[in-house]
Amino acid sequence: MTGTNFLEEIATTQDSENEKQLNSQIDYNMKDVKDALFGEAIVFGERINVIIDSESKGSVISKQFLNRKQQDIDSSAHFRLIDIQENHTCPLGIKHNMQVNIEGYNIGIDIVVTESKNYNIVLGNNWISKVCATLDYNNGLLTILTSHGTVTIAVTCWDNIKNPLQFHPIPQVSIENPSELELEGEDENVESQTFFFNVQQTSNITQIEGDVYPNECLQYWIKKFKITKKDNYPLPRTNEIFDSLGKAQWFTSLDLASGYWQVEMKEEDKSKTAFITRNGMYEFNVIPFGLCNVPGTFQRCMNNILKDMLWKNTMVYLDDVNIYSKTFEEHLQHLKEVLKRVEKAGLKINPEKCHFCTQSLQFLGHIVTNKGILPDPSKVDAIKNYPVPKNLTQLRAFLGLTSYYRRFIKDFSKISTPLYILLKKDIPYE
């Protein structure tokens, strides 16, 4: 149906009759895509898109969805799967009696768990037969039999899905012109400042793929950026952000997935990001973490996308987008407009780190509520349990942490003055 990661047949690996019976329940035939319908179901309390496939004798669920819902696999699976490219894969296991709710009709099925990230759930004939479903492909209707009679549900046929993997295709990234990296002086001065990395560290370089966070892979950078011409585009002040929230009652927080990596480097500047490893030299195609101008560049991009909404119902601090509204109805409209612009710009969000339509959320080290702004309790505990500073470095770190919450500490300046005096050059630290 989707052309990738769906299953044609089951190859039996055990001889027992029970396993053969289970294998026969999960036989996938992908040759006729017209036998696919797309609808909605509630699973583990979440409304999601599902694929209904009359050619599949069994049903399949992705491990990614199970993980998101904090659900475990119930038992192992003693068979293997063969996809349409004839690749052999082993299912991760089976989830027993999983409840699927469609239009209020709830039924439990055994479902096979796989690694696929291209779908949440495929409902096959083991579900179709249990609900006595009739599939009308011509009119896009699904009829199921309940204890109160038949229920007909409107669904979507395969032919009406332009891209079955994405109900809303994401356009190519185009949030701004490619980022420039302008250096002071000639390129010849750069090469002499390039240095080799520790062999133990460079083993991580080649692992930057999938959903690996760049700051976990590259914790070192090239000295050339000391001569980079600075872009002093300002970041919003946190106190102004919180003041702008006013009497907002509803909040949504969006997290842009690896935000900086969504801005392309200008072609002629890619060579300036080159770094050397034991496997050769590499350069970035997108702006990496660590460049001095990256925060300003990314902030400018986001401000351009949401400029007429800023300070009214939306705030952006780098890759964190906060939408706030006085009423729930207004909030839905504001959220819809922000998501529309994010999609149009080709940006991707990380749904696991997003919080939608809440009356309190964590933002920039604070708890934002409909009653006001509070300090993050975990940060307060960190201050309370902070060890006594033994040197100037530790003292500066402590003062930096406490001063972030100075608005919540009465007479903070008076209390902290003796500590700030210790930072003076001629004052011995005791």
Per-residue pLDDT tens for 33-55? 445 777 888 899 888 878 888 77
Higher pLDDT, 64 or 203: 64
Length of the chain, please? 430
Say if residue 334's pLDDT is above 90: yes
Q: How far apart, in whole angstroms, are the C-alpha atoms of residue 299 and residue 313?
A: 17
More confident residue, 309 or 262: 309
Q: What is the mean pLDDT of residues 151-171?
A: 52
Q: Name the more confident of 363 and 221.
A: 363
pLDDT surpasses 80 at 71: yes
Residues 6+ apart with CB under 8 A from 174: 345, 346
pLDDT at 35: 56
Supply the pLDDT for residue 51.
84
Q: What are the two backbone dihedrals, phi and then psi, of residue 125, each rounded to the nearest 5 degrees?
A: -70, -25
> φ and ψ at 99, to 5 degrees?
-85, 125
Is residue 324 predicted with pLDDT exceeding 70? yes
- Tracing tokens 């080290």 back to the chain, one arrives at 365
pLDDT in tens, 124-143: 888 888 888 888 777 777 88
> CB–CB of 193/222 below 8 Å?
yes
What pLDDT is attached to residue 430? 67
Count CB atoms within 10 A of the CB of residue 129.
Answer: 11
What pLDDT sits at residue 213? Answer: 40
pLDDT of residue 170: 36
Position 117 confidence tier, pLDDT thresholds 50, 70, 90: low
Helices marked H in 164-217 — which ranges? 188-191, 199-202, 214-217
Q: Is 393 helix (H, G, I), strand (E, B) or coil?
A: helix
pLDDT tops 70 at residue 8:
no
pLDDT at 233 over 60: yes
The pLDDT score that the predictor gives to residue 88 is 67
Residue 319 has what pLDDT?
Answer: 81
Residue 179 forms beta bridges with which residues?
265
| Backbone φ, ψ for residue 313 (5° rounding) | -145, 5
* Interior angle at CA 337, CA 331 and CA 339, nearest 5: 100
Q: Alpha carbon of 208 to those of 23, 171, 212, 282, 284: distances in Å?
A: 37, 23, 6, 12, 11
Q: Which of 31, 7, 273 is nearest to 124 (CA)?
A: 7
Which pLDDT belongs to residue 179? 52
Which is nearest to 230 in space by CA: 187, 299, 291, 317? 291
Give the pLDDT band (50/70/90) at residue 82: low
C-alpha 316 chain-centroid distance: 17
Residue in 405, 418, 303 with CA at minimum distance from that of residue 364:
405
Rounded Cα distance between 68 and 66, Å, is 5
Domains of the chain: 7-160 (2.40.70.10), 188-374 (3.30.70.270), 376-421 (no CATH)
Give the pair of three-digit tokens for residue 38: 């797309």
Whole-angstrom CA distances from 361 to 252, 281, 314, 337, 354 are 8, 43, 14, 20, 10
pTM for this entry: 0.47
Which pLDDT score is estimated for 337? Answer: 92
pLDDT at 60: 87
Query: According to the model, what pLDDT value does residue 290 have?
Result: 64
Question: CA 40 to CA 295: how far, in whole Å?
Answer: 40
Q: Which amino acid is at 270?
A: K
Average pLDDT, the chain: 72
Backbone CA torsion sign across 244, 248, 252, 253: positive
Measured N-to-C along each axis, helices 412-421 and 392-403 cross at an angle, to the nearest 10 degrees, of 170
- Pairwise CA distance, residues 152 & 217, whole Å: 52
pLDDT tier at 98, thresholds 50, 70, 90 = very high
In percent, the amount of the chain with pLDDT more than 90 equals: 5
Q: In this model, does residue 364 exceed pLDDT 70?
A: yes
Give phi and psi for 320, each to the nearest 5: -105, 120
Q: Is the dihedral of CA 339, 239, 232, 225 positive or negative?
A: negative
Higher per-residue pLDDT: 189 or 88: 88
Give the gyration radius of the chain's Cα atoms. Answer: 28
Kindly state the average pLDDT of the residues 193-197: 39
CA distance 225 to 247: 43
Mean predicted confidence (pLDDT) in 149-158: 71
Mean pLDDT of 185-193: 43
- Contact criterion met (CB below 8 Å) for 332 and 251: no
- pLDDT above 90 (res 424): no
Is residue 325 scored above 50 in pLDDT?
Answer: yes
pLDDT at 236: 84
Out of 51-55, 152-156, 255-259, 306-310, the most confident range is 306-310
Strand order in the sheet with 372-375: 360-363, 366-369, 372-375
- Span 370-390, average pLDDT: 84
C-alpha to C-alpha distances, 42 to 103, 104, 161, 230, 332, nearest whole angstrom = 9, 9, 21, 51, 21
Q: Quote the pLDDT of residue 323.
A: 92
Q: Which candidate, 323, 330, 313, places its Cα nearest to that of 251?
A: 323
Segment 263-283 mean pLDDT: 74
